[in-house]
Structure formats: structure tokens, C-alpha cells
Structure 1
């Protein structure tokens, strides 16, 4: 609603206004219902560890998020390589602090526990898959299919319904009875939902109706909910209560880094394929394009020239780092009769781009399916039984 409204011509930015009433409500509720909690041995802050950790994460995530848009200059690779060095410094510093002061930002002994280390790896892979999905899914619906933000959002609500149902059932019903099988089943169900989405998107192409997306989205969301709700408990099962703060902080950070990696990796795959295979969409629409140009009175030799220029336009648009930008090769022509030809080119250009987006979307989802299968296999390293941690107790 807020994106469609375009308040004060700010486009998508007012979406963050949603947080204001929610935040105020949370503060009021917390004042009345959340009890005070203090540690008997309060840990000391680790400001140097914070600076090193934030620097390393920034050096890794920023180039990944912006590299494709900037054309991957040399400094992006230098920053990512440097982040490895910074993380090494962080490990050395946290070891030193543990021996001398204590109370490190990152409790390195956590990684001696197989369940925690494996869980962190699986958690990262899971968010790489889902971070990539959320990006290409939005691009597919709004730029590929030409849907409004409102239609895309309402269609996406099916995912949220599935996720809410999966989360509730995972915690209340499945996890207490079958433990980690809930997580394994959730990852595989999420992968199955992706595969079903691929089949539906491929079958209907650019003309897919919203209602055909509901079933695969509900399945995808349900599998997602089965993973995200109990996964934290599974990872924290054997973490000492005194280290819960450090462990949960690592989980949150890993989730954000995983999503950034997912967006970067699938972005390279999605847009790379979109550019290299732009001829796919052109070939799909060329017969119809030729018919409409002839019907508009364009001579035969002129049709060939227009189709050649049309192919260049679709390729250049697909190769743009900003998929909403219109390249020079697609700008309206000033030749006689252009007023009749341009609407035809615009319509068929959108159709060609839609075909290309559908194909790239399919490819990106197969990438997600593969990662989710790895996630399911990795979950065998987690404890068989998963119990909610009552850390206050």
C-alpha cells in the first residue's frame, strides 16, 4: 500500500513507517508485561571486539551488496579478501581477551560443540537460499511480469500464511515429537515448494495468474516455518546459559550475512543469465512482432532493421545493472511512422523481457533447491531431540 501510494514521491522509503506504531506498541506492552532481568555476573563490554567484528562484516557484505551495480571494481575484491584477514584478527583478539579479561564478544569455545558449529553452517546456507529467493521473486513479479507492488504483495501473502502455520505447528506439535526430523522435513518441503513454483512458472510463462502461485507459495512458506521456528532451539540446545547472549548474537549476525551472500550470489546468477540469454525472449516474440509491424504498414526491409534493433534493445536492457533503466538503444525513434511502431515495440519488448525473467527465475530457484537439499543433509549433525531453552530458569 505504501509503495503504491508513493508518499511525498519517496517511492519505497515510507515502508519503514510501519515500524513506528509497532515499536510504540511494543514499548507500552514491555513496560507492563516484561519483568526486569539482571545477570548475577554481568559481562563486561568488548568495544574493541565490536569494532573489529563490525569492520570485518562491513568489508564482506558491502562489496557483495553493491558489487554488481558498481561493475565489480578491484577494490570490492580487495575488501572481501581483507575481511578474511580482519576475521582472523578477531579470532586472535577474542582468544587473548578470553585469557586476560574474560567476557569476550565472541565465545570461541562455543564452536567446540558440534551441534552449534554445524547449526551455524546450516543456518548460513539456509539464509543464502532464502535471501536469494526473496530478491528474484520480487524482481520476477514486478519487473518480469509487470505486476504492481500491491498485486505482488497480495500474492506473496500466501507465503506468509504458510510460514505462520508452519512455525506454530513446528513448535507446538512436530518438534516435541520428532525433533530434528521437523527441520529436515521443513528444508525438503521448502525445496519442494521451490520446485513446484518452477513448474508452475514455466508452464504458464509471462501470463501466469496470481492464484496459480498460491499452492507452491503455501508449501514453500510452510517448509520455511518448520525450519526457522525450532532451528534456534536446535542450535542452542547444548550452549551453556551463560553464553546464550554471545550465541544468539552470532546467530543473528550469521542470518544477516547469509542473506547478503544469497542476494549477491543469486544476483550474479540471475542477472548474468538474463544478459547472456536475452535472445530467448526475443525469439519468443519475434513472429508476433513481425506480424504487427507488417500490419502497421512497415515495409519488409524495414521490418528486418527494426527487429535487429529490437534485439539489441532487449539485450542492452537485460545487461543493465539497474533493471528499471531504459538504455539508449530502446529510446523512441524519430523516424516517420514511429508513432505507430513504438507502441508495438514497447509491448513486445515487455513480453520478451517477461520471457527472459521467467527463465532466469526458474534457474535461480533450482539453485535454491540445491542449497536446501544441502541444508537438509547438514541437519543430521544437529541433536535428535530439540527442546526449547528456558534461559531465565
Structure 2
């Protein structure tokens, strides 16, 4: 194998990390009713299946990048890929909701360690700018394809019963790809120089992890238990720990101790406005799939396979719009994102009108979902560049890691807030009318979040050209 072939093979190997990480976000969304039945879980257990994966990812993403610098990216990539594969096996073998959620947290944590290695390898393998842009495009296309494939398989596999319950295949299909990726990485990936200067901010990681759990877990579990005292204390404690985390990071920065997050980033007004837009956008991102997947299957009576096929059209709309939006953003700036948010708002209003009965013509549902996907695809690929456009180049890596941590945390918050509203309105024995009311209220909440996104995008200055080449979800 010549050097050129080896380079592109290495790109495909490291791209398995984003493929597996993204597919395991989307594959569970459609299948939640089947998973709940399989492990005899509660409503909050289903929210945690998504949220714990994202919290593990958010808490350790920045650390994952630094670990690759410290021990070598090849070693960290292989180990984290094997851990991700093993945790997928644990998910597929889980007998209780507790076991499944514990394994999902390990999955998310291992994803946080393998994703940064893949992105770093692209910069190493493709030092020339034009080749790097092409490589990043392939990497991003694989991530986009994973979201569509995940939604399709999430609907299809629960209806397949081959040796094990269908929902278990959602996680077991990771095994052959994960093992193959680790084996190929061991043979073909070049190792990278290790940089062992500086210490890991272990206390910073611990504080951030505790704060995220103390914030999200009671939002999800507290509602189901009637908001006991511990849940209120946990939320108050989360605020206290976040303040302590901020002080800890500031102190370490002043002492030049390499903190987890460089808080100087928050002195840039545009960055703070961009993060506010990110917060409310991503609170809608996965809560949309949560409430629609459950409403379609349990409320309207669609099968898992039918729901998966419907969501594929949303994914296709996303992929098409994302490819078209990137060059448009270069020409028209944030107006493309504002238009995308408007499309999402109009589409959600269409959801409220059309998603009322299973007898609604499929063509109308497919068009509505495709329309919503085009709105997402117009916003998501360039949201990172809008948030970071005023950040100096030497802060680019720290800002990108902070953005990704904030993004995944926001998704988990959306699952807790919008999902919590939806489930609290359902009650114990929901009728079709109750399902409809809960769906409409939760969707209205998401519309409100998108209105806030549009406001923050409006007040965000156009500024200079973004420093980042591409964002990967």
C-alpha cells in the first residue's frame, strides 16, 4: 500500500469514531418505547438513556483531547474504541434500566476520548489546506450519514427478532465495526508524538462532572418522584459547584496550571451571545426526537419501523441543507442561520397542525419532516463558526472544546426540561387526547426556545470570517 492510499485508509479508520458516536445518539431516539418495554424502565429511565450518554461525552471531551497529546493518539484511539465496543456489549446484555444507563454513560465517556483523536489525525494526515478541507468534508458526511442511518435502524431493528430481542441489536451491531476499527488502527495508524508537559486538570474534570450530574439528574428523576427534597438540594448544589468550578479554573489560569477551560474565552461578548444561541438550539435538538418518537408510536400508533422511515426524511432534509448552507453562509453570513431557525419554527407549527392522527396522509408528514430537517441543516453546520468568529486563533482549540461541552450539556438539559414537561402532562394513564395535549405543549416550549435562538442570532454581530473550518455534531 502506497503512502497516498494509506492516508485515505487512515481517514476512514478514524472516521469510524464519529460514525459510531453519532449513530449511538440517533439510534436510540426512535427505539425508546421498545427499549422501555425490554428493560421494564420508567419514563425518566428513557430520558436518562439519552442524557447519560451525552453527559459522559460532555464531561470528558476536553480531557479526551489532552489525553491523546499526553499518551499518543493511536493508543488512546484504540483503547477508547475497545471500551466503546465493550460498553455497547454491556448495553445489549442489560437486564435492567440501571444496567443499561450505566453502560450508556461509559459509552458516552469513551466517545469523548475517541472523537478528539479522529479530528486531530485529520490535521496530521492532511497538512495541506485543500486536502484537509476535503478530508473534513468526508468526515462530516460520514457523521451526517450516521444520523440518518441511526434513525432508520432505530426504527427497523426493534421489529426484528433474530436470536435476541430486537432492541438489543441497536447496541450489538457496534461490535463488529468497533473491533474491526481497533484492529485496523493497530495495524495502519501512525503513532503521534507524545507531549507530557503539564498536568491533567483532574479536579476540574471532577467538579464539572459532579455539577452536570447534579443539574441534569434531578431534572429528569425528580419529576417522576414528585420533587423530593434531595432533588431540590441537588439543583441548588449544582449552582454552587458550577461557581466553585469557575473559581477553580480562574485560580489555575492565574497560576499557569493549564485549567480544563480557559475562562478568558468568556470575556468575549460575541462568544457569550453565541453560546446562548447554542444553549437554546441544542435544548431543542434531541428533545424533538424524544417527544416525536414517543408520540408517533404510543400516541398515534405507528410501528417502530414506520416511525424510523418517517424520521429518515428529516435526516435527508438535514443532509441536503447542510451541504447547501455552508457556501451560502460564506456569502450571506448569519442570515442563513436565521432563515434556518425560521424554517424550524414554521415546521413545528406544521407539526402541531398535521400530527394529530395516524390517518393523516403520509406525504404530508414526510414533507413536514423533510422541511424541519432542512431548517436544522441550515443552522447546525455553521453554528460553531458563528459562536467562535471573534475568538483569536490561539484560543481556537480551547473555544471549540468549550463549545462542544456546552453543546452536549444543552442537549441533556433539553431532554430533562422539554421531555419532563411532556411526561408530566401525560400522567399515569394517558388517553389519545392527553397525548395530544402533552405533545402540543412540549412542542410549543421548543418553539419558544427557537424564538430565543433567533433573538440571540439577531443581536450577534456579523464580525470577521470564522476561524474554524467545520463543525461536526
TM-score by length of 2: 0.61
Please say if residues 393 and 467 of structure 2, whose CA atoms lie closer than 8 Å, have aligned partners that are also in contact. no
CA distance in 1, matches of 2:174, 2:380: 22
- Residues 39 and 180 of structure 1: is their aligned pair in 2 closer, same or farther, counting only changes over 3 Å? farther
1:216 equivalent in structure 2: 368
Corresponding residue to 1:65 among 220, 234, 238? 220
Q: CA offset at residue 7 of structure 1? A: 5.5
Please say if residues 94 and 104 of structure 1, whose CA atoms lie closer than 8 Å, have aligned partners that are also in contact. yes
Q: CA offset at residue 186 of structure 1? A: 1.0
CA distance in 2, matches of 1:249, 1:2: 34
2:458 equivalent in structure 1: 380
Corresponding residue to 1:93 among 205, 227, 248? 248
Please say if residues 64 and 260 of structure 1, whose CA atoms lie closer than 8 Å, have aligned partners that are also in contact. no
Corresponding residue to 1:122 among 277, 292, 296? 277
Corresponding residue to 1:251 among 403, 413, 429? 403
CA distance in 1, matches of 2:237, 2:168: 32
Q: CA offset at residue 158 of structure 1? A: 0.9
What secondary structure is seen at the aligned counterpart in 2 of 1:177?
helix
CA distance in 1, matches of 2:271, 2:178: 32
Within a 5 Å distance, the mapping from 1:76-155 to structure 2 comes to 76-155=231-310
Within a 5 Å distance, the mapping from 1:4-83 to structure 2 comes to 4-6=159-161, 9-10=164-165, 12-23=167-178, 44-83=199-238
Q: CA offset at residue 131 of structure 1? A: 2.9
Question: Over residues 8-57 of structure 1, what are the superposed CA-to-partner deviations in whole Å (9 max), with x where a residue is unaligned?
Answer: 55553431234445545766887899887769996642111111111111
- Residues 24 and 252 of structure 1: is their aligned pair in 2 closer, same or farther, counting only changes over 3 Å? farther
- Residues 163 and 119 of structure 1: is their aligned pair in 2 closer, same or farther, counting only changes over 3 Å? same
Question: Over residues 93-129 of structure 1, what are the superposed CA-to-partner deviations in whole Å (9 max), with x where a residue is unaligned?
Answer: 1111011133111111101111211111110111112
CA distance in 1, matches of 2:363, 2:412: 30
CA distance in 2, matches of 1:355, 1:207: 16
Q: 2:334 aligned with 1:180, yes or no? A: yes
Corresponding residue to 2:413 among 261, 264, 268? 261
CA distance in 2, matches of 1:229, 1:35: 29
CA distance in 2, matches of 1:274, 1:50: 37
Q: CA offset at residue 145 of structure 1? A: 1.2
Provide the alpha-carbon RMSD of the alignment.
Answer: 2.7
Q: CA offset at residue 86 of structure 1? A: 0.4
CA distance in 2, matches of 1:29, 1:122: 40
- Residues 90 and 8 of structure 1: is their aligned pair in 2 closer, same or farther, counting only changes over 3 Å? farther
Q: CA offset at residue 159 of structure 1? A: 0.6
CA distance in 2, matches of 1:37, 1:121: 36
Q: Which has the larger radius of gyration?
A: 1
Q: CA offset at residue 215 of structure 1? A: 1.2
How many residues are matched? 314
Corresponding residue to 2:343 among 183, 186, 189? 189
Moved more, 235-244 or 140-149: 235-244
Within a 5 Å distance, the mapping from 1:278-293 to structure 2 comes to none
- Residues 18 and 37 of structure 1: is their aligned pair in 2 closer, same or farther, counting only changes over 3 Å? same
Please say if residues 273 and 460 of structure 2, whose CA atoms lie closer than 8 Å, have aligned partners that are also in contact. yes
- Residues 227 and 19 of structure 1: is their aligned pair in 2 closer, same or farther, counting only changes over 3 Å? farther
Structure possessing the higher relative contact order (Cα contacts under 8 Å, 6 or more residues apart):
1
Please say if residues 390 and 466 of structure 2, whose CA atoms lie closer than 8 Å, have aligned partners that are also in contact. no
What secondary structure is seen at the aligned counterpart in 2 of 1:317?
coil
Q: CA offset at residue 138 of structure 1? A: 0.8
Please say if residues 144 and 206 of structure 1, whose CA atoms lie closer than 8 Å, have aligned partners that are also in contact. no
Structure 1 gaps of 5+ residues are 276-315, 319-352
Q: 2:385 aligned with 1:233, yes or no? A: yes
Q: CA offset at residue 229 of structure 1? A: 0.3
Please say if residues 114 and 381 of structure 1, whose CA atoms lie closer than 8 Å, have aligned partners that are also in contact. no
- Residues 42 and 212 of structure 1: is their aligned pair in 2 closer, same or farther, counting only changes over 3 Å? farther
Please say if residues 111 and 117 of structure 1, whose CA atoms lie closer than 8 Å, have aligned partners that are also in contact. yes
What secondary structure is seen at the aligned counterpart in 2 of 1:12?
helix
What secondary structure is seen at the aligned counterpart in 1 of 2:349?
helix
2:449 equivalent in structure 1: 371
2:81 equivalent in structure 1: none
Structure 2 gaps of 5+ residues are 1-155
Q: CA offset at residue 258 of structure 1? A: 1.4
Moved more, 380-389 or 81-90: 380-389
